[in-house]
């Protein structure tokens, strides 16, 4: 017989999201909403909180357990909202506080929990604290990391740390001091040794918990504490070391006391409120420290996202991830896409092959022990949009054309030589004294926050723009207006440097982000034959492809072969089958509830209680003994009950 992906009707009320211990988060499926691109309620072309609320029924029908919202706080939008000026207010671009309250209530009414971003490593330069610091208010600079510069006149940065965007991680202000910004200059780093910083964020968390949110995704959870003395690193291209080697500005032991205090705060509220760490560490064992029983509940596992379409690599990542988290009694998280990386349909090759692999990978992910994160639109099988017109792009790195910008010291040093790219001659650099960087205006920035990133060369993506296509890349950044911004969440970055303005000179940069992250942020299609496909009453801030009419929610609903119905069926089965979901669900000597079985080359086969999963990564069909009764497949499978013929690039779930 041929068995195709089927949305079976399941009468069971059993849900693995309520485990024996009541820890809903251990096997939750959490859906990331990139607010700007989800749904627009007011016709300005930008998604907002009311738009999100109007589309919550889609998420309830999809079968997810929680919604994670990207930042919607008051912000100059220098970094897509990750530069927060007021942590207790909603930016008018997205609505107001009443809209946030109504969204949380509506989500809860549908059985959905709500997780929001919190950004504790840095504030916006427009935050009242930083404004007071620049104005010379006594004690205000102690909340941030201000230092005197090096050299006889203090004109050199205090140490050799680099911004994640490339260039120095320091900007000099009018009186000669420098402040640290591991990301954009518009994002000054806080000093977490200051008691007012600790007290302020306790208050911020309580504010949103009192409003009813169910937890926080903690941005740069590994970055709040820096090594004593801020020591030099002694080498460049530091962003490429994130997640691979120890660094004095990331993953310091002191961050764990902060997370312990936040865990105590979260536990003081009813309803299992959680903290999710966006953290990078040099090893799986170091990452597991963030989810010890007295720390956070989850930590993003980006290794699975970065894994190539290779069964050996996949098994290694799965085994090492499960071993590390099981050692501290925590669940593992799995993710394939987010708003910072090339969508996995395209990473896996694009077209028919890429979609087949993406569907199979999603089923593999949802079959693994632990919690899964979905990125909006992946349930529709959306590919990366690689042909956006240059004039519509919003990622600031695109306009910079892989060139970094370096802040000038107040007193210019002697001419220096920039380290060349491989194969390029050295480029002389000269300086012209101008006004201090602190006086420059705010402009678009990009941010990265963790570690090695897909889409910067590991998978096929378009080449970075060159002139004349990226025609704005050589003009001063100050001439480029503010607008919707991009942020890199997990990759080696450069090509974006300090803030805008005539204080900055451009210089060649060897390691850089590609500036093409807009492609994963194009607003998703809901219904209708043409853009904006129900996104809102008017257009969308990034243009949608005309071919997306067939990928809309409305077009795929009811089609048993569609990616949307595959996701719906997988999530329904995940809830109904006792062997899926949380680690240890069902009787098994393995605390992870999972065993690998022998399988042909190119095939992964594992079991959980009453359940088996087969993944064929080969480009040709594979025959093997049927491990049970097929209940769901990403492509039609042929079985006579004794043997099965697995299609290429496919995943099948089995019951026994």
Tokens of 9: 């009707």
Distance CA 114, CA 285 (A): 29
Cβ 533 vs Cβ 552: under 8 Å: yes
Q: Encode 197-266 in three state secondary structure.
A: HHHHHHHHHHHHHHHCCCEEEECCCCCCCCCCCCCCCCCCCHHHHCCCCCECCECCCCHHHHHHHHHHHH
Q: 508: alpha, beta or left, given left = phi > 0 and alpha = psi -120 to 50?
A: beta
Residues 6+ apart with CB under 8 A from 589: none
Q: 128: which DSSP letter? A: H
State CA 216 to chain mean position distance. 14
Quick check: is 101 catalytic?
no
C-beta neighbour count of 640 within 10 angstroms: 9
| CA 629 – CA 186 distance, rounded (Å) | 57
Q: Residues 292, 295, 301, CA angle at the centre, nearest 5°? A: 65
Q: What angle do CA 90, 93, 95 make, to 5 degrees?
A: 50
The Cα–Cα gap between 653 and 367 comes to 8
Coil, strand or helix: which one is 596?
A: strand
Separation between Cα atoms, residue 554 and residue 556, nearest integer Å: 6
Which DSSP letter does residue 134 get?
H
- 29-33 and 371-375 strand pairing: parallel
Q: Which region holds residue 371: left if phi is over 0, alpha if psi is between -120 and 50, else beta?
A: beta
Rounded CA gap, 340 and 81, in Å?
14
Q: What is the DSSP string of 265-329?
A: HHHTSSS--EEEE----SSHHHHHGGGSTTS-SEE--HHHHH--S-HHHHHHHHHHHHHHHHTTT
- Strand, helix or coil for residue 642: coil
Dihedral sign, Cα of residue 354, residue 356, residue 360, residue 366: positive
Confirm if 343 and 455 have CB atoms less than 8 A apart.
no
**Active-site residue identified among 48, 99, 189, 219:** 219
Residue 427: CB atoms within 10 Å: 12
**Strand-strand pairing, 371-375 and 333-335:** parallel
User: Per the residue annotation, which of 160, 191, 214, 278 is the catalytic one?
Assistant: 278
219 catalytic? Reply is yes
Residue with tokens 């394939």: 336
Asked if 560 and 6 touch (Cβ cutoff 8 Å), the reply is yes
Q: What is the 8-class DSSP label of residue 10?
A: -
Residues classed as catalytic: 219, 278
């Amino acid at each position: 017989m041929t068995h195709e992906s089927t949305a079976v009707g399941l009468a069971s009320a059993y849900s693995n999201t309520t485990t024996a211990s009541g820890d809903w988060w251990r096997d939750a499926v959490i859906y990331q909403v990139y607010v700007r691109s989800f749904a627009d309620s007011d016709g300005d072309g930008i998604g907002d909180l009311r738009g999100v609320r109007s589309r919550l029924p889609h998420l309830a029908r999809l079968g997810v357990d929680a919604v994670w919202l990207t930042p919607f706080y008051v912000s100059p939008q220098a970094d897509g909202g990750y530069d927060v000026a007021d942590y207790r207010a909603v930016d008018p671009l997205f609505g107001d506080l009443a809209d946030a309250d109504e969204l949380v209530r509506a989500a809860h009414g549908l059985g959905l929990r709500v997780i929001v971003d919190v950004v504790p490593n840095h504030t916006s330069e427009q935050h009242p604290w930083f404004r007071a610091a620049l104005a010379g208010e006594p004690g205000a600079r102690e909340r941030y990391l201000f230092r005197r510069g090096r050299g006889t006149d203090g004109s050199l940065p205090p140490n050799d740390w680099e911004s994640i965007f490339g260039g120095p991680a320091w900007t000099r202000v009018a009186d000669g001091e420098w402040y640290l910004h591991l990301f954009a200059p518009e994002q000054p780093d806080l000093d977490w040794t200051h008691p007012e910083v600790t007290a302020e964020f306790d208050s911020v968390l309580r504010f949103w918990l009192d409003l009813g949110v169910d937890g926080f995704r903690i941005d740069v959870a590994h970055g709040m504490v820096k090594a004593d003395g801020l020591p030099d690193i002694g080498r460049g291209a530091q962003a490429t070391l994130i997640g691979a080697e120890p660094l004095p500005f990331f993953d310091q032991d002191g961050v764990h006391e902060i997370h312990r205090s936040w865990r105590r705060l979260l536990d003081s509220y009813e309803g299992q409120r959680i903290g999710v760490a966006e953290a990078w560490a040099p090893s799986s064992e170091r990452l597991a420290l963030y989810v010890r029983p007295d720390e956070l509940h989850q930590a993003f596992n980006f290794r699975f996202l970065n894994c190539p379409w290779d069964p050996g690599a996949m098994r290694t990542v799965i085994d090492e991830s499960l071993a590390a988290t099981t050692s501290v009694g925590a669940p593992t998280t799995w993710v394939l896409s987010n708003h910072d990386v090339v969508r996995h349909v395209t990473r896996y090759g694009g077209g028919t092959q890429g979609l087949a692999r993406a569907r199979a990978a999603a089923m593999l992910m949802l079959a693994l022990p632990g919690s899964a994160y979905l990125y909006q639109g992946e349930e529709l099988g959306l590919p990366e949009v690689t042909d956006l017109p240059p004039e519509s792009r919003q990622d600031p790195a695109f306009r910079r054309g892989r060139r970094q910008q370096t802040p000038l010291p107040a007193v210019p040093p002697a001419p220096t030589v920039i380290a060349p790219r491989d194969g390029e001659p050295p480029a002389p650099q000269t300086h012209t004294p101008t006004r201090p960087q602190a006086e420059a205006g705010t402009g678009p920035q990009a941010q990265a926050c963790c570690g090695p990133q897909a889409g910067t060369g590991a998978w096929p993506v378009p080449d970075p723009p060159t002139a004349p296509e990226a025609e704005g890349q050589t003009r001063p950044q100050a001439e480029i207006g503010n607008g919707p911004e991009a942020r890199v969440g997990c990759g080696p970055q450069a090509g974006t440097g300090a803030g805008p303005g005539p204080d900055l000179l451009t210089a060649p940069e060897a390691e850089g982000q590609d500036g093409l992250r807009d492609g994963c942020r194009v607003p998703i299609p809901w219904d209708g034959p043409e853009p904006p496909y129900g996104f809102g009453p008017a257009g969308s801030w990034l243009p949608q492809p005309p071919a997306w009419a067939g990928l809309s929610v409305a077009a795929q609903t009811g089609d048993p072969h569609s990616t949307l119905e595959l996701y719906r069926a997988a999530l329904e089965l995940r809830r109904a089958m006792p062997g899926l979901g949380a680690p240890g669900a069902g009787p098994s000597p393995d605390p992870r509830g999972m065993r690998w079985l022998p399988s042909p080359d190119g095939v992964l086969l594992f079991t959980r209680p009453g359940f088996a999963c087969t993944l064929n990564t080969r480009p040709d069909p594979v025959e093997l003994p049927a491990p049970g009764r097929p209940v769901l497949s990403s492509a039609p499978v042929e079985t006579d009950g004794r043997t099965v013929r697995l299609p290429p690039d496919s995943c099948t779930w089995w019951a026994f």
